[in-house]
Amino acid sequence: MRIIDVSEVTSAVSKLCIDANYSLSDDMQRALSDASGKEESELGKKILDQLFKNLEIAGSDNIPICQDTGMAVVFVKVGQDVHFVGGSLNDAINEGVREGYTKGYLRKSVVSDPFIRINTNDNTPAIIHYDIVPGDEVVITCAPKGFGSENMSRVFMLKPADGEEGVKNAILQAVRDAGPNACPPMVVGVGIGGTFEKCAQLAKEALTRDLSVRSDKPHIRAIEEEVLDRINKTGIGPAGLGGRITALAVNINTYATHIAGLPVAVNICCHVNRHATIRL
């Protein structure tokens, strides 16, 4: 049994909130850089170059990449041989978000009630997803999610008879409906299977996958590649102003589902697809 004080979790989450908002992961930076070389529209190419310049400025000046520093989404993989001491794990994670958003001078965008919209002033509570796994390590990923793109996300409760073509059409519909509102070039996270809520979580977590890594299931990998190609033929383009590069990647996660269902969630993220990970 490994003992971890929850104060370590607080420190880790605080750092992750700042790191994720100040700089994109290496795979995202490569994807944006490569996109500029592939873009055929002159205006689209200029926009992509400006986005990359914005990344460089944020990194050198230690400032957020985007003014919308998001709602903190935290994925926690907990080894089953870990025992936490020192207080509540949920409280420790939220304290980390509170510290990170204060120390990092990050915009605090969370309101305490969907109707009585009073700002909590510290960007808590976070959205926390736990996964109990073998071992004695804890892996924490923080993925701040801005709501320009979050608002463009969709859940489709398809019928099994809709099949792969129905899934492809659903993803394309979500992207077309999003258009410029999702601040393209976007990353499209897709969850297929499970239940209403499970497919949404799958889609959200798909956004944290390295963009150079495709699904290890051949039929899913084929869908990822085909849908990405079809999205990039819509002409939406960078910033929605036309061009070839509308999406940088389509990442699909799947799960078992019921004989009567085919749930599909599409969680779109803008070009600021932020996530950072720490292993304790």
- Structure token digits, residue 244: 């070839």
Residue 180 lies in a domain: yes
Express each pLDDT in 38-63 by its tens digit: 988 999 999 999 998 898 899 888 89
Task: Tell me the per-residue pLDDT of 179-218, one tens digit each, with 9 for 90 and over.
Answer: 999 999 999 999 999 999 999 999 999 999 999 999 999 9
Residue 252 CA to residue 203 CA, distance in Å, equals 7
pLDDT of residue 173: 97
Which DSSP category does 124 fall into? P
Beta bridge partners of 166: none
Boundary of a domain, candidates 144, 176, 209? 144
Backbone angles phi, psi at 27, to 5 degrees: -65, -35
Residues 198 and 119 in one domain: no
103 assigned to some structural domain: yes
Task: State how many domains the chain has.
Answer: 2
**Residue 222's pLDDT is what?**
97
My answer on whether 140 and 16 are in the same domain is yes
Residues 15 and 136 in one domain: yes
User: Which residue among 119, 144, 169 closes a domain?
Assistant: 144
Whether this model's pTM surpasses 0.85? yes
Residues 195 and 206 in one domain: yes
Task: Render each residue's pLDDT in the chain as its tens digit; 280 residues.
Answer: 899 999 999 999 999 999 999 988 889 989 988 888 898 899 999 999 999 889 889 988 889 999 999 999 999 999 999 999 999 999 999 999 999 999 999 999 999 999 999 999 999 999 999 999 999 999 999 999 999 999 999 999 999 999 999 999 999 999 999 999 999 999 999 999 999 999 999 999 999 999 999 999 999 999 999 999 999 999 999 999 999 999 999 999 999 999 999 999 999 999 999 999 999 9
Residue 92 located in a structural domain: yes
- Determine the pLDDT at residue 40: 87
Q: 81 and 178, same structural domain?
A: no
Instruction: Identify whether 247 is part of a domain.
Output: yes
For residues 39 and 50, what is the distance between their CA atoms, to the nearest angstrom? Answer: 13
Asked which of 97, 127, 144 is the last residue of a domain, the reply is 144
Q: Are residues 14 and 135 in the same domain?
A: yes
Taking the C-alpha atoms of residue 75 and residue 278, their distance in angstroms, rounded to an integer, is 11
The answer on 152 and 108 residing in a single domain is no
Residues 125 and 8 in one domain: yes
Kindly state whether residue 177 falls inside one of the protein's structural domains: yes
Asked if residue 137 belongs to a domain, the reply is yes
For residues 245 and 155, state if they share a domain. Answer: yes
| Domain housing 174 | 147-273
Distance CA 246, CA 236 (A): 6
- Measured CA to CA, the distance from residue 27 to residue 183 in angstroms comes to 18
Is 170 inside any structural domain? Answer: yes
- Radius of gyration, CA atoms only, the chain: 19
Together in a domain, 191 and 244 = yes
Which segments of the chain does DSSP mark as H helices, in order?
A: 6-22, 26-38, 42-61, 89-103, 147-150, 163-178, 196-206, 218-231
pLDDT at res. 84: 97
> Is there a single domain that holds both residue 211 and residue 259?
yes
CATH code for position 173: 3.30.1330
What was the pLDDT predicted at 52? 87
Residue of 112, 32, 94, 98 whose CA lies nearest to 65? 32
Are both 136 and 158 inside the same structural domain?
A: no
54 within a domain of the structure (yes/no): no
